[in-house]
Amino acid sequence: MNNHTSKTALITGATGGIGSELCRCLARDQINLVLVARNQQKLQQLSEQLQSEYGIKTHTMALDLAIPNAAQKLYQMLQEQGLQIDFLINNAGVGYYGRFSDSDLDAVTNMLNLNITTLVQLTRLLLPNMIEQGIGRILNVASLAAFQPGGPNAAAYYASKSFVLAFNRAVVVELKHTPVTSTAFCPGPLSTAFAKQGGFSATRLYRYFSGNTSKQVAKAYRAFMKGKSTVVPGGVNKLLAIGGEFPPRCIALAINKFLLQK
Ligand SMILES: NC(=O)c1ccc[n+]([C@@H]2O[C@H](COP(=O)([O-])OP(=O)(O)OC[C@H]3O[C@@H](n4cnc5c(N)ncnc54)[C@H](OP(=O)(O)O)[C@@H]3O)[C@@H](O)[C@H]2O)c1
């Protein structure tokens, strides 16, 4: 067991497939948790499980992180409750599948707010205190999609994840001589609620390549605790990530187009 007693982690999207696995990893290390998602009942259920299984302290904050100024609202809630955050896990995210010209503009805007804006704002709000306190770890959940030159039929989602990876890479360099680390977690396709919600379940990518959530999260957690800058779990995912960055880009685009068809 690592010596993280009395440390507190905030995790967004705590009740989902990846989020709840990460919660268990953190709880096993006796890290207290601030759990954030929209559904209060699910938050409460998870909170009670974690408290009774691991004996940690938990707080729940039910909030829609896709609304404007959600990060500021969350920050204010933390301040009101006197909670200091040592570890930030920006995990909440949604996908959107479909031809961009036919897409639902509100759904795409909400996705960008959640996947990009709230992640950036929350990091900006919590990072200075981590640097000042001399301790801090950030985990930004990106995706294997982040390495691809584009995702035909998931254009805005793939671009949102490339943003997260590029943002994390630059922050890592800026944090080099500080005690704080930032890690981008780039999982491959996983059979969580995400795939169904985002409309990806029937695509070739999800039918042929879906991986094991617990295994990928366990690898990500170890990399996060070591302060690694990027983690792509699994050999096949590593190959797909390298393939996405290999020139000429038109080859990876054609492969992504094929994989993102149903
Ligand atoms: N699953 C995959 O194949 C896959 C692959 C690569 C990357 N990822 C990334 O991994 C992250 C987590 O995905 P997952 O597979 O664990 O998804 P999931 O099982 O659908 O869980 C999503 C979590 O986010 C919360 N959430 C969704 N919208 C929210 C909002 N507007 N405000 C606050 N919380 C919200 C959900 O709870 P509520 O609904 O109660 O709010 C839930 O806790 C995402 O960033 C996703 O892009 C997933």
Best residue among 10, 18, 215, 232 to mutate for probing ligand 1's pocket (most ligand atoms within 8 Å of CB) is: 18
The residue type of 95 is G
Residue 3 lies in a domain: no
In the chain the first and final C-alpha atoms are separated, in Å, by 44
Cα–ligand 1 centroid distance for 22 (angstroms): 12
pLDDT at 1: 44
Residue 227 lies in a domain: yes
User: For residue 230, what is the DSSP state?
Assistant: E
Residue 2 lies in a domain: no
pLDDT at 45: 98
Residue 163 lies in a domain: yes
Could you tell me the sign of the dihedral formed by the alpha carbons of 126, 119, 60, 223, in that order? negative
Residue 143 lies in a domain: yes
CATH code assigned at 171: 3.40.50.720
Cα–ligand 1 centroid distance for 217 (angstroms): 14
Which residues are marked as active site? 157
CA distances from 249 to 43, 99, 114, 164, 252 (A): 42, 20, 28, 20, 5
* pLDDT tens, residue by residue, 23-45: 999 999 999 999 999 999 999 99
Number of folded domains in the chain? 1
Cα–ligand 1 centroid distance for 95 (angstroms): 8
The residue type of 226 is K
Q: d(Cα 234, Cα 109) in Å, to the nearest integer?
A: 32
pLDDT at 55: 98
Nearest atom, ligand 1, residue 70 CA: 32
pLDDT at 24: 98
User: For residue 118, what is the DSSP state?
Assistant: I
* pLDDT tens, residue by residue, 179-230: 999 999 999 999 999 999 999 999 999 999 999 999 999 999 999 999 999 9
- Identify the residues whose C-beta falls under 6 Å from ligand 1: 13-19, 37-39, 42, 64-66, 91-95, 114, 141, 143, 187, 189-190, 192-195, 197
pLDDT at 177: 95
Nearest atom, ligand 1, residue 43 CA: 40
Looking at the DSSP bridge assignments, the partners of residue 180 are: 136
Domain that holds residue 185: 8-259
Nearest atom, ligand 1, residue 94 CA: 47
Q: Whose alpha carbon is nearest atom 41 of ligand 1?
A: 38
Q: Measuring CA to CA, which residue among 13, 62, 10, 14 is closest to residue 32? A: 10
Residue 46 lies in a domain: yes
Cα–ligand 1 centroid distance for 27 (angstroms): 19
Q: Whose alpha carbon is nearest atom 20 of ligand 1?
A: 194
Residue 214 lies in a domain: yes
Q: Whose alpha carbon is nearest atom 37 of ligand 1?
A: 37
> Running along the chain, 262 residues long, what does each successive block of 10 average in pLDDT?
77 98 98 98 98 98 98 98 98 98 98 98 98 98 98 98 98 97 98 97 96 97 98 96 95 98 97
CA distances from 245 to 81, 144, 225, 248 (A): 44, 11, 27, 9
pLDDT at 5: 65
Best residue among 33, 89, 106, 194 to mutate for probing ligand 1's pocket (most ligand atoms within 8 Å of CB) is: 194
Cα–ligand 1 centroid distance for 247 (angstroms): 31
Cα–ligand 1 centroid distance for 143 (angstroms): 12
